[in-house]
Amino acid sequence: MSLQYTAVGWNRQKRLYDTVLGCCAAGYLLVFTGVSAALHPSATLETLLIRGLGTLALLMLHVILCIGPLCRLDPRFLPLLYNRRHLGVSMFVTALAHGVFSLVQFHALGDVPPLVSLFVSNTRYDSLAQFPFQALGAVALGILFLMAATSHDFWLRNLSAPVWKRLHMAVYLAYALLIGHVVLGALQSEPSLLLSGFLAAGMALVVGLHLAAGFQERRIDAARGAAQAHGFVDVCDIKAIPEKRARIVSLAGERVAVFRHDGRVSAVSNVCQHQNGPLGEGRIIDGCITCPWHGYQYLPETGASPPPFTEKVPVFRTQVIGDRVLVHPQPLPGGGRSCDART
C-alpha cells in the first residue's frame, strides 16, 4: 500500500488571503518600529524588530485562538477557519524570527553556544522577579514548530484525526507559556501600560469567546436532548439540505421530504397525491413544493395545494437546534396549521 502525496492546492482565494496577511504583517511591523523609534529614540533597530516581531506573533496567535469559537458561535466566520493553517504557519515564522533575533542579540557573543546559553545563563527558576522568561518562549516556540511542521494534510491523514487534533490542542499550552514569557519578561523589566492592556484584553477575549461557545453548545445539546425526549428525531445537518430543495429521510417506515427554504425548514410526505411522484426530488418554485413528475404544487408549511386546488399531503413538525434538523415522525393531516421551523 502506498500513500498519495498531493501538493498544496493553491487557489485564488488562498493567494488573496496570503497577500492580505503579508501586507498586514509588513504594515504592522512598519508602524510598530516607526512609533516605537519615535517614543524610544535610544532603542536600537534590533531591539525594535525583536519587540515588533514578538508582539506581531502574539497578536496572530490571539486571532488564531479566536477563530475556532467564533465559527462555533456564528457560521458566517467559517471562511476564516478554512485558511487558519496558513495563519498558523505565518505566526510560527514570525515567532521564529523573533526568537532567532533574540538569540543573536542576547546569547551569541559568549563562549557557550546560543541555544545552551538560553537555558543555562539564568537558572533563577525560584525567583519571580528574575525568572528565566526566555526559556518559556523557547518551549512555546518548540510547540509551535511541531504544529507548523505537521500542519499539512499529509500529517492529518498519517497521524489520524484524533492524534493530530490532540497534538494541535497543545497550542493552549504554548499560549499559557507565552503569557508567562511576556508577563515575567518584558512587562517586569520595562512595564508598559499599552502592552499590559492589550495582553489583558486579548486574554479576556480568548477566554470569553471559548466560554460563550461552550455555553452555547451546552444549551444546544440540552435543547436537542429535550426535543428527542418529546419524540423528535435528529435527521441531518441543516447544511446538508440545499436551499429550495429537500433531503429525503425515512421516519417510522415512511419517506419524508425535508425542505429548506427562505430561512425555514418544512417536512412533508414524500408521496405526491397525483401519481405518487417523489416530492423530495422536486424544488420549491414560486413558494410551492413542485412535484418533479407532472408539476403538482403544495405549500411547504401546510402541505395544501394553493387555491383553487384541493390536494393535501401530510406534514411533519420540525425543529432546528443549532445546525441540526429534527423532525417528529408522527404525520399530521395536510392543510392544517403551519408546523415548520425557522433556521
Measured distance CA(302)–CA(268) in Å, rounded: 8
CB distance 247 to 343 below 8 Å: no
Q: Find the binder of ligand FES among 141, 144, 268, 272 (CB under 6 A).
A: 272
Check whether the bond before 162 is cis (ω within 30° of 0). no
Residue 260 pairs in a beta bridge with 245, 265
Give the residue with the Cβ less far from ligand FES, 75 or 306.
Answer: 306
Q: Determine the interface stretch with ligand FES among 4-12, 24-32, 291-299, 335-343 (rule: CB under 6 A).
A: 291-299
Which grid cell sits at 316?
Answer: 411533519
Judged on CB neighbours under 10 Å (0-12, 13-18, 19+), 239 is exposed
Q: Which residues between 134 and 173 bind ligand HEM (CB under 6 A)?
A: 134, 137-138, 140-141, 144
Count of residues engaged in binding ligand FES, rule: CB under 6 A: 9
Return d(Cα 223, Cα 212) in angstroms, integer: 16
- Picked from ligand HEM, ligand FES, none, the partner binding residue 274 (CB below 5 to 8 A depending on kind) is ligand FES
Interface stretch with ligand FES, choices 96-104, 161-169, 170-178, 274-282 (CB under 6 A): 274-282
Shortest Cβ distance from residue 127 to ligand HEM (Å)?
A: 17
Residue 178 interacts with ligand HEM (CB under 6 A)? yes
Residue selected from 73, 179, 180, 185 as contacting ligand HEM according to rule CB under 6 A:
185
One-letter amino acid at 64 equals I
3-state secondary structure of 317: coil
222's grid cell: 440540552
58 binding partner (options ligand FES, ligand HEM, none; Cβ < 5 to 8 Å by kind): ligand HEM
Residue 90 near ligand HEM by CB under 6 A = no
Q: Is 56 in the site for ligand FES (CB under 6 A)?
A: no
Asked if residue 293 binds ligand FES (CB under 6 A), the reply is yes
Residue span binding ligand FES (CB under 6 A) among the ranges 14-22, 155-163, 196-204, 267-275: 267-275
Is residue 132 near ligand HEM by the rule CB under 6 A?
Answer: no
Cell readout for 79 is 471562511
267 binds, among ligand HEM, ligand FES, none (CB under 5 to 8 A by kind): none
User: Quick check: 316 and 332 in contact, CB under 8 A?
Assistant: yes
Distance CA 95, CA 218 (A): 35
Choice between 57 and 148, CB closer to ligand HEM: 57
- 149 half-sphere exposure, CB direction, 13 A CA radius: 8
Residue 297 CB neighbours (<10 A): 20
Asked if 13 is part of the footprint of ligand FES (rule: CB under 6 A), the reply reads no
How many Cβ atoms from other residues are within 10 Å of residue 331's Cβ? 19
What is the SS3 assignment for 10?
coil
- Cα–Cα dist 307/22, whole Å: 60
Which CB, 106 or 154, lies closer to ligand HEM?
106
* Lookup: cell for 186: 518584558
Which residues of this protein are in contact with ligand FES, per CB under 6 A? 272, 274-275, 277, 291, 293-296
Q: Residues interacting with ligand HEM, by CB under 6 A?
A: 47, 50-51, 54-55, 57-58, 61, 95, 98-99, 102-103, 106, 118, 134, 137-138, 140-141, 144, 178, 181-182, 185-186, 195
